[in-house]
Amino acid sequence: MTPTIALLLIITFLLSTVGLLVLIWSISTNQFSNSQNAARTIFTPGEEGHSEDPAREDTSAYKGDSKAAKEAFTARRVQDQSSKPAVLIWLSSAVFWLLIGSFYGLLASIKMHYPEFMADSQWWTFGRIRPMHLNAVVYGWSSMAGIGAVLFLVPRLFKTPLRGTPYAVTGAIIWNIGVILGLGAINFGLSDGQEWLEFPWQVDFLFVLGGALCAVPLLLTCARRTVEHLYVSSWYFLAALVWFPFLFFIANVPKVFPGATGATVNWWFAHNVLGLWVTPLGIGIAYYIIPKILGRPIISYKLSLIGFWSLALFYSQVGIHHLIGGPIPTWLVTLSIVHSVMMSIPVITVAINHHGTMWGSFGRIKESPTLRFVWIGALMYTATSLQGSLMALRSVNVITHFTHYTIAHAHLGMYAFLSFILFGAIYFIMPRLTDREWPWRRMISLHFWLVAIGILIYFVSLTTAGWLQGLALLDAKTPFLEIVQMTIPYLQARSLGGGLMVAGHIVFVVHFIFMLSRRGAMTQGPTLFRVRTKEISQ
Ligand code: HEM
Ligand code: HEM
């Protein structure tokens, strides 16, 4: 065993021990037994039964009917404003990377059915623009928007202003430098050559540093919290912010994992980035926003905690389902398949809470942009994960592996689930930071329909193409080129869907810039898809 592997094993052991201690602490401090009352932690006194959708306090239908309630509202405003510089820099950067990243995605898509397109220049070859797309949307858009949303929600969850904001601002600057250098390196043809880990390792430490700097304000704010109980979203956020730097650091240590070991670590990391980084961010945001907009606590608080701990237990071992059939020990693959199926436990608990809380209030997605994006995102989380558990079965994976089916699943997760929740969160957060409502309801509507129709076309076309492709590849008599030609109309449909998504992003970014520059027309009330006539109460 090399000293480096021994060191990594020691770090892993210490991390597991810390996890166990946190579990013991949470049991001993009754974090599990606060029951349904704990689900009410996110409301100010008297707020339950009132929606928080009207964005600004002064346009809100409910402003508190007692002194304590009014004070809590004022305190919440102070909490919202405390994170403003940090949240704005993380979110603005994310929105920028969304545009760049999806532009590269569209280019990569066009090249798959029109290979001559921009083929004369090394800067635009598929081998460079595909990883540029992936890394820009994962580390630029998804991670930065997720961190921005967490920085906004943490002071609300802990009911105290954000401490250590400069750490988060510095973290954003370092992270952005990392994305710029990483994408630049790939564009110059310099890459570590492993999917999801393409950024050269020399650049990677910037992400570890940027991520760790963001964890500082969260931990400082947690230490000064005025709530005794940690609401379930806090668990997801704190865990993700601690998990990410470790995962990223371990997977990027250079020259330690050669050959098949390297592939194992590569996919251990890649699915942990999905399961222990972006997924907790998405689920945690939905756990906060859905009840706040409905004015109703989640239906089973105990179940929500079971969901968190079972995610922590099962997700960390699923990554090797990416290597089914690969040259690695069978027991390792089987272990990951078992864990992939066991993932249905956290997934179902989250589904019961997210959709059960919505029960009877589905009509609210007609009016609230935030709720529409967030709830559809939550629904797609259920769909992606159940689909993923099936895809991990050997009998299904033998068809879907190495096909467009996986890409469809990837976008169902990273886009229809995660990005939708992030869009919803940004619609919720920006008015509370800028004291302005979104200027144009029609732009939000246009954004929604473009991306919703776009991802639908994307998903359906690639799922069909991938399944047919997988079946054909298993038939040794079918010539490979015939299979490639068969998929072309579906790939063209994907470019159409992707084009709509990019158009939706342009609409969103323009609206975001107006919101940032406070140049948009002020609406009289909150910007909903349609104006609500009466306040909804439980
Ligand atoms: C229970 C949960 C899940 C399970 C068991 C699961 C399982 C799988 C499987 C078996 C694959 C295909 C591996 C292959 O044949 O190459 C896959 C790919 C993928 N999944 Fe999931 N999935 C789950 C949830 C999610 C979620 C929530 C997301 C998004 C946030 C997601 C994003 C992806 C991506 C991006 C890929 C493609 C990775 C790549 O090839 O680069 N999955 N998943
Ligand atoms: C925020 C938006 C998006 C996210 C988070 C996202 C995420 C991803 C991910 C995780 C992968 C790797 C999948 C895998 O290896 O299994 C990927 C690949 C890809 N994405 Fe996206 N994507 C987004 C938008 C788009 C758009 C708008 C298009 C336009 C058509 C697009 C086209 C592609 C293409 C062509 C690939 C490579 C597929 C392949 O190699 O077969 N993506 N994307």
What contacts 459, CB < 8 A, 6 or more positions away?
Answer: 408, 411, 412, 416, 497
DSSP 93-107: HHHHHHHHHHHHHHH
Instruction: Give yes or no for residue 487 CB within 6 A of ligand 2.
Output: no
DSSP for 459-478 reads HHHHHHHHHHHHHHHT-TTS
* Ordered DSSP codes for 133-198: HHHIIIIIIIHHHHHHHHHHHHHHHHTSPPS-HHHHHHHHHHHHHHHHHHHHHHHTT----STT--
Residue type, 352: I
Out of 113-122, 325-334, 449-458, 520-529, least confident range: 520-529
Calculate what percentage of the chain has a pLDDT beyond 70.
92
Q: How many CB atoms lie within 10 A of CB 409?
A: 21
- Give the pLDDT of residue 522: 65
Average pLDDT, the chain: 90
Distance 492 CA to ligand 2 centre (A): 14
Mean pLDDT of the 442-469 span: 97
What pLDDT does 533 receive? 55
Q: Which of 241, 252, 257, 254 is nearest to 204 (CA)?
A: 252
3-state secondary structure of 465: helix
pLDDT tops 60 at residue 432 = yes
Lowest model confidence (mean pLDDT) among 32-36, 119-123, 222-226, 463-467: 32-36
* pLDDT tens profile 328-351: 999 999 999 999 999 999 999 999
Report the pLDDT averaged over residues 159-165. 95
Centre of ligand 2 to C-alpha 130, Å, is 8
Ligand 1 midpoint to CA 142 (Å): 16
- DSSP structural state of residue 242: H
Q: Is the CB of 108 under 6 A from ligand 2?
A: yes
CB distance 210 to 178 below 8 Å: yes
Cβ-contact 498, 106 below 8 angstroms: yes
Least confident of 58-72, 101-115, 418-432: 58-72
322 lines ligand 1 (CB under 6 A): yes
Residue 536 confidence (pLDDT): 43
- Position 300 scores a pLDDT of 92
Atom number in ligand 2 closest to CA 406: 16
Left, alpha or beta for 325 (phi > 0: left; psi -120 to 50: alpha)?
A: left
pLDDT in tens, 255-294: 778 788 889 999 999 999 999 999 999 999 999 999 999 9
361, pLDDT greater than 70: yes
Give 161's DSSP letter. P
Closest Cα to residue 389, out of 338, 435, 430, 330? 338
Token pair belonging to 259: 């050959």
Percentage of the chain exceeding pLDDT 90: 67
Amino acid at position 357, single letter: T
Taking 70 as the threshold, does the pLDDT of residue 20 lie above it? yes
Question: What's the predicted TM-score (pTM) here?
Answer: 0.94
